[in-house]
């Protein structure tokens, strides 16, 4: 009883050093309803334990393979900080992880986050987790745990960092790894919602240093403020992809992230194959036109840095391409046939050829 009174009456030395355990506990209590709203069948533990437990379920899978991914959102965090808006950046965090998991054909099961800052701001932190929970709801995976770390002296006031971790599951014989891609296959591009979460170091250099803009500046070409456009959340493709692979044979999937088209598509191409992309087969979103002209960015830099309006690439046989496009559009996706797989011989043959640059 005396120890409890001492703890209540006196601020701890740890809190004086900048780490407030009581505030951290209050934050956990604050986000419990947000986290619980993401729980799917299989979650065995509530938030607050040492580890999150998730049951695969006996008999649900014959030969299950777990697929994992980890990522962050880069310097898009700086845009959230400049705008004072933190309730969508968590969607980006989830998206960057689950979009990587889905390219193997795996259904996301659960998600964990790591959230670190100098001094915990409960309102700001709750907004971040609100976005994480929303991303989990969109992708239908469960937020089963995470870590919140106060690191005084390490971060500037108001700054924080995020990392996410996702695990999905797929039957071994249903793994999509690109090995079945053949010459003549068609390449379908699924529209992005904007920049997503890559290339923001270049975005900030162009917008803030070279053009001298501020996040609250209204940009006619974009139809909104610069900050609103730059904070547009990354599109999550998991439910769309799961629907398509249930009905059609998909031979390859590519998440267009850092490295754009040039570095990501070759990651799944078999030897002897290359991707020929027709740049004029889909519209370049206004934000990319704005960046290209404002920053005088070359075509090769654009397509190696940004998604340029295509967030996910799908490779299918030529016989099923029209049906797949129809199904994608019925699911609310903007889908385009953006190229095909052709033969590639010799070391000088580029794995990705961008026609129309």
**Span 291-302, mean pLDDT?**
95
Where is pLDDT greater, at 22 or 318? 318
Q: How far apart are the first and last CA of the chain?
A: 74
The Cα–Cα gap between 195 and 229 comes to 9
**Span 32-53, mean pLDDT?**
83
- pLDDT, position 259: 92
Sheet holding 64-71, edge to edge: 64-71, 160-171, 107-117, 142-150
Nearest to 34 by CA among 169, 146, 197: 146
Pairing of the two strands 335-343 and 273-278: antiparallel
**Cβ contacts of 209 within 8 Å, gap of 6 or more:** none
- pLDDT, position 356: 62
- pLDDT, position 123: 93
Q: Is 71 exposed, middle or buried (0-12, 13-18, 19+ CB in 10 A)?
A: buried
What SS3 state is found at 345? coil
Structure confidence at residue 66 as a pLDDT band (50, 70, 90):
very high
Where is pLDDT greater, at 3 or 277? 277
Nearest to 308 by CA among 331, 332, 290, 324: 290
Nearest to 231 by CA among 269, 203, 212, 205: 203
- pLDDT, position 45: 80
What SS3 state is found at 209? helix
Q: Is residue 1's pLDDT more than 50?
A: no
Nearest to 60 by CA among 42, 40, 76, 36: 42
Where is pLDDT greater, at 26 or 291? 291
Q: Which two tokens stand for residue 56?
A: 């695969």
- pLDDT, position 6: 43
**Cβ contacts of 281 within 8 Å, gap of 6 or more:** 189, 336, 337, 338, 339
Domains, the chain, with CATH or none:
2-174 (3.30.1330.10), 186-198+234-355 (3.90.650.10)
Tell if the pTM clears 0.85, that is, is over it.
yes
Q: Which two tokens stand for residue 29?
A: 């209590």
**Span 203-221, mean pLDDT?**
97
Structure confidence at residue 5 as a pLDDT band (50, 70, 90):
very low
The Cα–Cα gap between 64 and 214 comes to 49
Read off the pLDDT of residues 88-135 as tens digits, 9 standing for 90 and up.
999 999 999 999 999 999 999 999 999 999 999 999 999 999 999 999
Where helices occur in the chain by DSSP H, the ranges are 2-9, 13-16, 21-36, 76-83, 89-102, 122-139, 200-204, 226-230, 238-247, 260-264, 286-295, 299-305, 321-330
Q: Which two tokens stand for residue 21?
A: 């355990």
Read off the pLDDT of residues 232-269 as tens digits, 9 standing for 90 and up.
999 999 999 999 999 999 999 999 999 999 999 999 99
DSSP state letter for 265: G
């Amino acid at each position: 009883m005396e120890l409890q009174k001492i703890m209540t009456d006196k601020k701890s030395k740890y809190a004086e050093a900048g780490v407030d355990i009581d505030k951290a506990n209050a934050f956990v209590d604050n986000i419990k309803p947000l986290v619980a709203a993401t729980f799917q069948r299989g979650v065995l533990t509530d938030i607050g334990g040492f580890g999150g437990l998730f049951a695969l379920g006996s008999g649900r899978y014959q030969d299950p393979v777990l697929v994992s991914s980890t990522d962050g959102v880069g310097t898009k965090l700086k845009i959230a900080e400049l705008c004072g808006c933190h309730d969508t950046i968590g969607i980006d965090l989830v998206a960057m992880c689950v979009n990587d998991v889905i390219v193997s054909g795996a259904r996301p099961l659960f998600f964990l986050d790591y959230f670190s800052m100098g001094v915990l701001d409960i309102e700001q932190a709750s907004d971040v987790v609100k976005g994480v929970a929303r991303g989990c709801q969109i992708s239908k995976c469960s937020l089963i745990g995470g870590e919140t770390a106060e690191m005084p002296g390490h971060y500037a006031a108001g700054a924080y960092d995020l990392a996410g971790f996702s695990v999905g599951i797929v039957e071994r014989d249903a793994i999509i790894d690109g090995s079945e891609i053949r010459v003549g296959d068609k390449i379908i591009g699924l529209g992005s919602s904007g920049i997503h979460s890559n290339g923001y170091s270049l975005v900030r250099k162009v917008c803030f240093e070279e053009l001298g803009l501020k996040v609250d500046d209204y940009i006619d070409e974009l139809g909104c403020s610069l900050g609103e456009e730059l904070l547009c959340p990354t599109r999550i493709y998991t439910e769309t992809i799961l629907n398509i692979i249930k009905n059609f044979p998909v031979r390859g999937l590519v998440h267009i992230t850092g490295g754009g088209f040039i570095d990501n598509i070759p990651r799944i191409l078999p030897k002897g194959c290359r991707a020929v992309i027709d740049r004029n087969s889909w519209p370049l979103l206004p934000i990319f036109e704005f960046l290209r002209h404002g920053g005088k960015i070359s075509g090769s830099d654009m397509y190696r840095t940004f998604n340029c309006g295509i967030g996910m690439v799908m490779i299918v046989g030529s016989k099923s391409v029209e049906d797949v496009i129809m199904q994608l559009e019925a699911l609310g996706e903007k889908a385009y046939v953006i190229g095909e797989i052709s033969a590639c011989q010799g070391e000088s043959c580029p794995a990705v050829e961008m026609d129309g640059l």
